[in-house]
Amino acid sequence: MTGAPATGEAARPRRGEQLEVEIDSLAFGGRGIARTDGFVVFVAGALPGDRVRAEITKAKRRFAEARAVELLRPGADRVADVCVHEGEPCPGAPWQGLPYERQLACKSEQADEALRRLGELEGYELEEIEPAAERWRYRNKLEYSFGERDGEPLLGFHARGRWDLIVGVEDCHLASEPGNTARNRVRDWAREETVPAYDRRAREGILRNLVVREGWRTGQIQTRLVTSPARFPKPPVDLHTVIEGDSGGTDGPTGVLGAERLREELCGLRLEMSHGAFFQTNTEMAERLYAVAAEYAGLSGAERVFDLYCGIGTIGLTMARRAGEVWGLELVGEAIADAERNAEANGIGNARFLAGSARTGVRPLLERAGKPDVVVLDPPRAGLSQKIVRRVIECEAKRIVYVSCNPTTLAPNAAQLTEAGYRLRRVRPVDMFPQTPHIECVALLEKAAPGRGSGTPSISDSVASHETRGGGV
């Protein structure tokens, strides 16, 4: 590292300072790591082997955070960027310079390291990562921001590490071609009608965000414009959300101008989703992910399955035909309404969905449904709180299938479950997000049978014990 003043304490870089550093490895979350005399700098936008000029964004006693502002010498393994907007590498594809095989290896290693180091877990089988079906143009949802340059609206992404600077996007290689066309049409409308972008610094203007969602299998494109409250010519979008104040969010009262719900097909099911409901952003890989979850669930046709954090019911509905009954629990009421509609539209009569939080909803669910054989968990990145882990333990399921988008929260949760008598058996990473550091994996935990010591029942043992339980909810 060069450019730091003097030595010792004074050598600590300060916010805004620029340094030349060499990257030696990758951290969780995907930033490059540079080291010097016990001091670590996490550099966004830099990959192993790169020499970069980095601007410090945060300085602590033993480490600093920075963003790469200039690539001085690319690492030997770097591959050429595919997705570039106005000369800036796409902020949605921070690992595009890493060869794909290397991305996969890093994700597997990081998942394993999190489980071993953070969870102190061992004895599980880390299965080979499932590579992505498509390395580009795989996202079915992208959120863009409006900005302005020379008085003209721009529509694109925030530049890396900048909340106040937008880079315009013409063709994002994470989106499909029709998705790009839909975005550009809204940008052209804004230019023709001279509707100003919202300026967060001045707190004035109108256009804030555009969310483009796509039914991968149906070809439907759904656009949602997010604006400040204002009068302006009718926009060419399906949905219009109005946001008061300066929250920076995109959720608010929403009016319908076109198609209200997005239609998609997945695992042979016809699905509909509301704009506020979660749906996996890579349709092809969601099918693979759910296939792994179903394999781990080891269903024989008789089991009671709890699908906690069920969204629009996708995992439970894909398992319902192989289970006795499925019960879904989800916080967002709109998603539960979608799940019920989806069950009916697909003729699935053994699935019920309840709106409620995992924290307070599991006990009432247990009272209503009885104890499950299998619990499927698919929480947001923060994972399960201690209290929710306790509720899951109270379910006394033989198997827990944990679908995780963050191994650093999966690890402590799996460790808490092992303390309660489960064994972590299998873990399979599935690459849902190529060109990014995001790691998705499915983990199987099985309960040790009482009196069998550390041994666990095989799947066939536990299935046999439930063969007499009938279906129907």
Ligand X SMILES: C[S@@+](CC[C@H](N)C(=O)[O-])C[C@H]1O[C@@H](n2cnc3c(N)ncnc32)[C@H](O)[C@@H]1O
Mind telling me the catalytic residues?
A: 405
Contact call for residue 296 and ligand X (CB under 6 A): no
The stretch among 44-52, 208-216, 372-380, 392-400 that binds ligand X (CB under 6 A) is: 372-380
Give the torsion sign (CA, 227, 231, 234, 238): positive
Least distance in Å: CB of 141 to ligand X? 12
The stretch among 70-78, 105-113, 298-306, 330-338 that binds ligand X (CB under 6 A) is: 330-338
Contact call for residue 130 and ligand X (CB under 6 A): no
State which of residues 298, 311, 324, 434 lies at the interface with ligand X (CB under 6 A): 311
C-alpha–C-alpha distance, residues 419 and 120, integer Å: 11
Contact call for residue 397 and ligand X (CB under 6 A): no
Contact call for residue 378 and ligand X (CB under 6 A): yes
Least distance in Å: CB of 462 to ligand X? 23
C-alpha–C-alpha distance, residues 213 and 221, integer Å: 6
Residue type, 178: P
The stretch among 141-149, 178-186, 272-280, 437-445 that binds ligand X (CB under 6 A) is: 272-280
State which of residues 176, 282, 314, 462 lies at the interface with ligand X (CB under 6 A): 314
Instruction: Say which residue the tokens 């997705």 belong to.
Output: 83
Contact call for residue 264 and ligand X (CB under 6 A): no
Residue closer to ligand X by CB (options 43, 315) is 315
Contact call for residue 332 and ligand X (CB under 6 A): yes
Q: CB of 356 within 8 A of CB of 381?
A: no
Give the torsion sign (CA, 264, 269, 272, 273): negative
Contact call for residue 330 and ligand X (CB under 6 A): yes
Contact call for residue 279 and ligand X (CB under 6 A): yes
**Per-residue burial over 195-220, b = 16 or more CB atoms within 10 Å of its CB, e = otherwise:** bbbbeeeeeebbbbbbbbbbbbbeeb
Residues 6 or more apart whose Cβ sits within 8 Å of residue 387: 359
Task: Return the ∠ at Cα 174 (arms to 403 and 190), rounded to 5°.
Answer: 120
Q: Which two tokens stand for residue 178?
A: 């029709």
Contact call for residue 331 and ligand X (CB under 6 A): yes
The DSSP secondary structure of 189-239, one letter per residue, reads HHHHTTPPBPBTTTTB-SEEEEEEEE-TTT--EEEEEEE-S---PPPSSSE
76-115 residues near ligand X, rule: CB under 6 A: none
Contact call for residue 404 and ligand X (CB under 6 A): no
Residue closer to ligand X by CB (options 140, 350) is 140
Least distance in Å: CB of 125 to ligand X? 23
Contact call for residue 157 and ligand X (CB under 6 A): no
The stretch among 70-78, 138-146, 327-335, 345-353 that binds ligand X (CB under 6 A) is: 327-335
Least distance in Å: CB of 110 to ligand X? 19
Contact call for residue 358 and ligand X (CB under 6 A): yes
Among the residues of 97-215, which ranges form H helices? 100-113, 177-192
Contact call for residue 360 and ligand X (CB under 6 A): no
State which of residues 357, 394, 452, 464 lies at the interface with ligand X (CB under 6 A): 357
C-alpha–C-alpha distance, residues 273 and 338, integer Å: 6
State which of residues 124, 138, 157, 278 lies at the interface with ligand X (CB under 6 A): 278
419-458 residues near ligand X, rule: CB under 6 A: none
Measured between alpha carbons, how far is residue 49 from residues 30, 72, 76, 430, 434 in Å?
14, 11, 6, 26, 20
Contact call for residue 283 and ligand X (CB under 6 A): no
Least distance in Å: CB of 277 to ligand X? 7
Residues 6 or more apart whose Cβ sits within 8 Å of residue 452: none
C-alpha–C-alpha distance, residues 98 and 322, integer Å: 40
Residue numbers at the binding site for ligand X (CB under 6 A): 278-280, 309-311, 314-315, 330-332, 335, 357-359, 378-380
